[in-house]
């Protein structure tokens, strides 16, 4: 893709989840020497995204205090508990005031996403773009959402549903780009998931619920 500078593609990292089955906000979990939110930011930078926006929610103050988010625009979704859709809406609303042509959306709990996958998905950043990474034929993240589609995506993104309804409605307009060879689409929703990635999970406090509702991945 080359450099995506000149405010062509914004990185939009959704990192608001509470991680009730993981002992705290997913953004603060550590993979290697970095928090998941820091890894997501690094991947977005490596992929050429500029600017980079991070949507926080659960534990937002703690994340901002502990994570290295230098040079990143932080947006707080006060309605984070209502689901992924509200975070996507919050992020796109923040980007509406910029001149970027498209938003490259990635989720904080997918540490296998690489800069190479981001560059591949964002190869043709134009306002009408709708591009999704695919893994073994499964549509996933990152996703490139052209600016022309933001109003429609925002209208349909509700509760724990992100861009999926809009993408389904657009059918053949959506381009799937295979990223199996440069990234891994596994997510971290449970302690077992975390163990597979070598992520240490804090011991939940006694007052924290151990029940969580799985959410769609887009």
What is d(CA 19, CA 24) in angstroms, rounded to the nearest whole number?
5
Per-residue pLDDT, averaged over 35-50, amounts to 96
Residue boundaries of the structural domains of the chain: 9-185
pLDDT band at 65 (very low <50, low <70, confident <90, very high): very high
CA–CA–CA angle 167, 111, 96 (5° rounding): 45
pLDDT digits (tens, 9 = 90+) for 105-160: 999 999 999 999 999 999 988 999 999 999 999 999 999 999 999 999 999 998 77
What is d(CA 6, CA 118) in angstroms, rounded to the nearest whole number?
17
Q: Would you say residue 90 has pLDDT above 90? A: yes
Q: pLDDT higher for 190 or 101?
A: 101
Strands laid side by side in the 138-146 sheet: 73-76, 52-56, 9-15, 102-107, 138-146, 130-135, 175-178
The CATH number of domain 9-185 is 3.50.50.60: no
Question: How confident is the model at residue 176, as a pLDDT?
Answer: 96
Per-residue pLDDT, averaged over 27-44, amounts to 92
pLDDT digits (tens, 9 = 90+) for 163-216: 999 999 999 999 999 999 999 999 887 778 877 877 777 665 444 443 343 444
What is d(CA 52, CA 152) in angstroms, rounded to the nearest whole number?
22
User: Which residues have C-beta within 8 Å of that of residue 35, sequence separation ≥ 6?
Assistant: 27, 28, 29, 66, 67
Question: How confident is the model at residue 204, as a pLDDT?
Answer: 52
Question: How confident is the model at residue 191, as a pLDDT?
Answer: 76
pLDDT band at 103 (very low <50, low <70, confident <90, very high): very high
What is d(CA 41, CA 27) in angstroms, rounded to the nearest whole number?
11
Question: How confident is the model at residue 6, as a pLDDT?
Answer: 43
Question: How confident is the model at residue 203, as a pLDDT?
Answer: 61
Question: How confident is the model at residue 1, as a pLDDT?
Answer: 42
Per-residue pLDDT, averaged over 3-32, amounts to 80
């Amino acid at each position: 893709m080359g450099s995506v500078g000149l405010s062509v593609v914004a990185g939009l990292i959704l990192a608001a989840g509470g991680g009730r089955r993981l002992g705290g906000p997913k953004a603060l979990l550590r993979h290697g020497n970095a928090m998941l939110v820091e890894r997501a930011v690094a991947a977005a930078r490596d992929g050429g995204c500029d600017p980079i926006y991070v949507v926080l929610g659960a534990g937002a103050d703690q994340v901002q205090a502990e994570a290295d988010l230098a040079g990143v625009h932080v947006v707080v979704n006060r309605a984070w508990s209502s689901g992924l859709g509200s975070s996507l809406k919050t992020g796109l609303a923040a980007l509406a005031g910029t001149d970027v042509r498209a938003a490259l959306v990635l989720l904080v709990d997918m540490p296998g996403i690489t800069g190479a996958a981001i560059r591949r998905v964002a190869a043709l950043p134009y306002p009408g773009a709708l591009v999704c990474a695919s893994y073994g034929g499964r549509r996933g993240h990152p996703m490139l959402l052209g600016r022309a589609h933001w109003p429609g995506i925002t209208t349909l993104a509700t509760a724990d549903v992100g861009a999926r309804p809009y993408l389904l409605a657009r059918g053949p307009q959506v381009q799937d780009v295979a990223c199996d060879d440069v990234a891994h689409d596994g997510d971290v929703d449970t302690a077992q998931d975390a163990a597979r990635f070598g992520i240490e999970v804090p011991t939940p406090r006694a007052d924290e619920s151990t029940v969580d509702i799985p959410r769609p991945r887009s």
